[in-house]
Amino acid sequence: MAEPVAAAASGGGLPQLDVAQWPGQIVWMLVIFAILYVLFAKVFVPRVGGTIDQREDKIAGDIGAARRLRDAAQADAVAAAGEMAQARARAQKLAVDAQGEAKAAAAGRQAEEDVKLNATLQVAEARIAAARADAMAHVKAIGLETAQAIIARLTGVAADAGEVERALTRAQP
């Protein structure tokens, strides 16, 4: 146990706490501080500052480029909207024109069909009129035969065709 006390008495403790060594330690501390100050002031801080400045310049450039691109995109969008409006107007005009042409073509076809139908109708009416005239011509003969048959059935005597025809002529309005 006597050895640690002897080591403490002979100055074997921490040199930082020994007041006699403080002037040398302060000198070395000032030298190291000066070297670190010069390194930071001349080397490290300018490099970091330059990097920060470059980064700020790049960010500013990127923001400017983004704004230019945004403005160009907006201008393109406005131009595209205008072109779309023009295309829509042209398409509507084409649709109206096509619809008009289709109506005109349909009206033309309808007129042709009406002409054909009227011709067919006139032919049919002529046939009907001929059939009616033919039937009416036979009506008198059929009426005469029918009247003769009724008279013969009711009276049992055959009727004279001339008398029946005169009677039918008087009965017609």
Domain-embedded: residue 4: no
**Residues recorded for the chain:** 173
Q: Name the domain count of the chain.
A: 1
> Would you give per-residue pLDDT tens digits along the chain (173 residues)?
445 444 445 556 777 788 888 888 899 999 999 999 999 999 988 988 889 999 999 999 999 999 999 999 999 999 999 999 999 999 999 999 999 999 999 999 999 999 999 999 999 999 999 888 888 777 778 887 888 888 888 888 887 878 878 887 887 76
Residue 103 belongs to a domain: yes
Range of the domain at 52: 21-171
CA distances from 154 to 145, 149, 150 (A): 14, 9, 6
Spatial separation of the C-alpha atoms in residues 108 and 101, rounded to whole Å: 10
In a domain, 7, yes or no: no
Rounded distance between C-alpha atoms, residue 165 and residue 163, angstroms? 5
Q: Residue 31: its pLDDT value, please?
A: 97
Residue 105 resides in a domain: yes
The first and second tokens of residue 103, run together, are 């109506």
- What is the rounded CA–CA span in Å between residue 112 and residue 105? 11
